[in-house]
Structure 1
Amino acid sequence: MRGRMSDVERQGEPDGLMLFDGVCHLCDGTVRTVLAWDRHGPIRFTPIQSIYGRELALAHGLDPDTPESFLFFDHGRPLRKTAAIAALLRRLPAPWRWLAVIDGLPRGLTDMAYDWMAANRYRLWGRSDRCMVPTPEQGARFVLDRP
């Protein structure tokens, strides 16, 4: 399965791509929420457990076996934590994009809250034995191998 490529990706850099922990219920829920809020939008997804996801994680300093953050690629820039959330929110339709105001909050505090949630995500939300399987309609938004 391959998602649509942007001009940035044609130049070798991902764009609008969310690298997420596919066995994390919180992360899976986030992906499902983005899919529901932005049914036909440009945001695409790749689980860190895929070959492409592992490559991206390693290339950008994330341990694919114990990821402490997700990555969101915004015009080729890999973002983490609060910056990643804000960039992803900006690509959603209104009113959801308005939540990107979190980018104006003190980064130290928001990243600290993010770190706490990430460190406790399996305990608080649980985990699966395998990654979610997208529906046929969602399939075009998932990238499992190098574009």
Structure 2
Amino acid sequence: MKKHIIFFDGDCHMCNQTILFIMNHDPTVTFCFASLQSSLGEKLRTNHIIPQQYNSIVLFQNELIYTKSTAMLRIVKELTGPVKYAYVFIIVPKRIRDKVYDLRS
């Protein structure tokens, strides 16, 4: 099984709580984690033009980058429990999903 990397803001309490939630619902260990402030995170920022002030979760999956609501929905799709059914919201246009996502911060 191919692993996917979730990059997160290591200084963000909400991001850290989200990572703990993901870890608790990922029994097959599909995801690896790295802080956006780490050397791997800095490499990702440089190679994929992610702003330095970016404070959201970034998913690196199958050589593609996903951010904000798309990243979260693609992540929950792989988790166990009822949370995986949130993926149905992928049908909502990205600009609307991202506005809702941004309300969390």
TM class by shorter chain equals 0.7 to 0.9
Asked if the contact 1:82–1:102 (Cα under 8 Å) also holds between the matched residues in 2, the reply is: no
- Answering whether residue 98 of structure 2 is matched by residue 111 of structure 1, we say yes
TM-score by length of 1: 0.64
TM-superposed CA distance for 1:25, in Å, is 0.6
1:102 aligns with 89
Q: How far apart, in 1, do the equivalents of 2:82 and 2:67 lie? A: 23
TM-superposed CA distance for 1:68, in Å, is 4.3
What is the count of residue pairs matched by the alignment?
A: 105
How do 1:1-147 residues align onto structure 2 when only pairs under 5 Å count? Answer: 6=2, 15-64=3-52, 66-117=53-104, 121=105
Q: How far apart, in 2, do the equivalents of 1:39 and 1:54 lie? A: 28
The unaligned stretches of length 5 or more in structure 1 are 7-14, 122-147
Asked if the contact 1:19–1:71 (Cα under 8 Å) also holds between the matched residues in 2, the reply is: yes
- Report % sequence identity: 25
Higher relative contact order (CA 8 A, sep 6+): 1
Q: How far apart, in 2, do the equivalents of 1:70 and 1:82 lie? A: 9
Q: 1:70 to 1:61 in 2, by over 3 A?
A: farther
Asked if the contact 1:62–1:68 (Cα under 8 Å) also holds between the matched residues in 2, the reply is: no
Q: Which has the larger radius of gyration?
A: 1
Letter in 1 for 2:67: R
Q: How far apart, in 2, do the equivalents of 1:93 and 1:58 lie? A: 33
Higher strand share: 2
The unaligned stretches of length 5 or more in structure 2 are none
1:144 aligns with none
